[in-house]
Chain A
Amino acid sequence: MFWMKLLKKLFKALNADVSPSEVAGGFVLGVFLGLSPTFSFHNLLIVILIIILKVNVSAAMFAALLFGLIGYAVDGLSHQLGRYLLMSAPLEGVWSFFYNTPLLALARFHNTVVLGSVVISMLLTVPLYIFGKKFIVYYRKSLKYKVEKLKIYKIVKSSRFYKIYMKVKKFKV
């Protein structure tokens, strides 16, 4: 049911209710959540950002789940990258500062996977944001009607939750 809800909200966001920037922004923040280990201090900050910034939560959650799965494949790369950065002499001062500063130490940037995944996420931020915005515009122009004919869209739309949602939406309006 959670997936249904998430897909409905995502379709809704894609179908012009929400601005492309919000959806792309939510998606980018979700990438951070998905790629890095779940219990990290910086993830808490990302969640706060998702709550207080005007970004699409469904897109963030979708991205978190999607990149959570991709993360398994990227894990080795994150470890290698994190290890390379942590071991590089010019950056030692930076990491030592993070390691010795009480609150920053909670971010656990001295862990190879944490650092590697954060860096990969940061590298992906701008390209994903730009690509996301363009994709949503393109979707609304060209793909929307094709998607509405898909079987999965019909299933989602005809579900009980969707109907309740529409009623509530009408009532709110």
Chain B
Amino acid sequence: MRWKGFITLSVLLVLSIGGTYLFAPRIIHISVEKTGTAVWGAKVELEGVEISYSPLALRLKGLTVASRTKEFENMMEVESMNFSLLVAPLLERKINIEEVSGRGLAFGSERETSGFIPRRREEEKEDRAQVWRQQLSEWLSQVKKRAEERIDIPEINIEQLSSFEKVRQTRQKLEDVKGQADSIKEMDAQPLASRLENDLEEVKKITIKSEKDVADAHDKINNLKATIKDSEKFINDLNSAASDFQSGVSSIVADAGEIDEARRRDFRRVMDMMQLPSIEVSDIAETVFGPIVVDKFMTFMGYLETARKYIPPRKEKKKASKPPRFKGEDITFYREQMYSPFLIELALVSGAGGEYIKCEDLSSAPWIHGRPAVGAAAASNFEINATFDRTQDIPRDLVVFEYRDFAVDQAVGSLNLRAEFTGNEIDSRIVWAGRGLLPRDWLDYIRLDDPVIEIQARIRGRKSNPAFSISSNLDRILSERLKAELDRQIQEAQRQVQKVIDDEIIPRRDSVMQEAVSLRRETEDTIQEERHTVLDKKREAEREIENKRKEMEAFLAETAKDSEERLRDLFRR
């Protein structure tokens, strides 16, 4: 035995145990503060650390986590936290915490010293917020400018209007109908009427006194009948011409409707040709809120990604390969108890006001632990629930977060976040609703007194290339305002275009219609007159023929009676 060596080793052992006992709390104290501050981005401070070796436990006293946005406020404060550690896993260089219990949890408590740390990123963020506000004002001034622009009415070439062409075609139809009317006028009924009258006079002159008179009357009646037949033909021709004329005029009248329809088409075409001011309101939310929402959303997603990173998915089994020097191959055997490299079985920190932070089965190797990590936290103004399930081959995580006083820029509102991760797929939705987001110039413009603005952002798809969309009720609010502004301009432009078209088309249309109506009236009078002229004479002639027929029958009957008596006398004699 080498006693010198033995004593040296013993001294070293005693020194290391003593050093651990004396300095471990201080080392843990500094590590927690430094690491916490670096990770969180604001001061993380501890009042003290105590270590108990039997049973093995760690106690953190007076833990404060400063707010990153409010200089003299703590995001979270815990009076004391006890960590009960399992010894057996430590021998395998694994940290398994059986239970974390804490008391005196408080959110948003005041602090005497500044909790900020010098950070370039914060300054950049402030600059970004300023730039965003500036962009917002610029965007509004552009919108206003667009909305107030006068609309230039284009020069309208009347001959290119379809309604003008339609009026021209109707005018052509009118000319055709005029021709028909002239033809009707040329169908003179007077000669036929004179013929009827002459023939009638001849028939009237007939006196049936002898059989010779009957034969003469027969000829004259036949002449009159022929003239009646001619008059019937004339009336038929007249009716046919009148019918054609009527349909021509009806077609012209019907064209009035088509002219009006063409006039409306012309109006729409001219309006389409005009550069009307329009603003795609569906883009407003993305344009206005895009930068700030994306920033906040990405910050959240960054936190979630950090959380997820420390709960890695099940690793794929490595393929067997030739072991490098000093590595070899680990052959595994059945184990009754396997430990995760890091595990917190249960952590519960609560406060007097009902605040709590709870965490169960948080493990760096959940596939060994076999249960998904579940976390929850709540305070008067927020609640968060999270499940990180890595027990299966495809990791599934769900985080639901509600925050009632969440600040976006200088506005405060409620925030709801739901983030789902399935493997490499992400589907997250964040909704913020609150007042105070719009600057004064915007409120003046939309003429509303600080409305509730709701912004919805959604990110979905593969994590490497997700689709991002933003929508907001500001779209509707602004579109209504813009619509009112633009409608006034557009209506004025419409009125002017309508006037130009109407001034050109309506007088032309009315002129054609008036001419058509007047022509119809005149022609119909002519037709009626001619028809009556012929028909009256025809009817009189027919009546006279009937009279003469009866007269002749009476004469013949008398003659027959005389003949019969003469024959009877002759036989009697």
Contact = CB atoms under 8 A, between A and B. Distances in A.
A113 B330 CA distance: 9
Nearest to A109: B331
Contacts of B53: none
A105 B5 contact: no
Contacts of A54: 1-2
A30 interface: no
A111 B1 CA distance: 32
Interface residues of B, number: 23
B449 interface: no
Contacts of B9: 48, 51-52
A95 B331 CA distance: 10
Interface stretch (B149-157, B267-275, B320-328, B367-375): B320-328
Interface residues of A, number: 33
B334 A52 contact: no
Interface in B293-343: 323, 325-337
Interface stretch (A4-12, A82-90, A147-155, A157-165): A82-90
A100 B325 contact: no
A28 B329 CA distance: 26
A110 interface: yes
A173 B334 CA distance: 60
A99 to B, nearest CB: 4
B328 A52 contact: no
B554 interface: no
Nearest to B326: A37
B333 A112 contact: no
A110 B5 contact: no
A112 B92 contact: no
B371 to A, nearest CB: 22
B328 A111 contact: yes
A102 B326 contact: no
Contact of B92 (A96, A106, A116): A106
A82 B1 contact: no
A112 B328 contact: yes
Given A100-B335, A102-B92, A53 B1 contact: yes
B6 to A, nearest CB: 5
A87 B330 CA distance: 11
B39 interface: no
Contact of B333 (A48, A78, A83, A96): A96
A103 interface: yes
A82 B331 CA distance: 10
B88 interface: yes
B328 A105 contact: no
Contacts of A108: 330
B2 A52 contact: yes
B570 interface: no
Contact of A51 (B8, B92, B333): B8
Nearest to B10: A52
Contacts of B22: none
A102 B330 CA distance: 16
A79 B328 CA distance: 6
Contact of A95 (B1, B2, B6, B333): B333
B448 interface: no
Nearest to A86: B331
B178 to A, nearest CB: 116
B91 A103 contact: yes
Nearest to B87: A102
Contact of B88 (A38, A78, A87, A102): A102
A105 to B, nearest CB: 6
A111 B329 contact: yes
B335 A99 contact: yes
A21 B88 CA distance: 40
Give the 6 A-B residue pairs with the shortest CB-CB distance, closest first: A113-B328, A102-B91, A37-B326, A51-B5, A112-B328, A86-B331
7 contacts: A48-B9, A51-B5, A75-B326, A79-B329, A92-B333, A102-B88, A111-B330
Given A37-B327, A116-B328, 5 more contacts: A51-B6, A52-B1, A53-B5, A103-B91, A110-B333
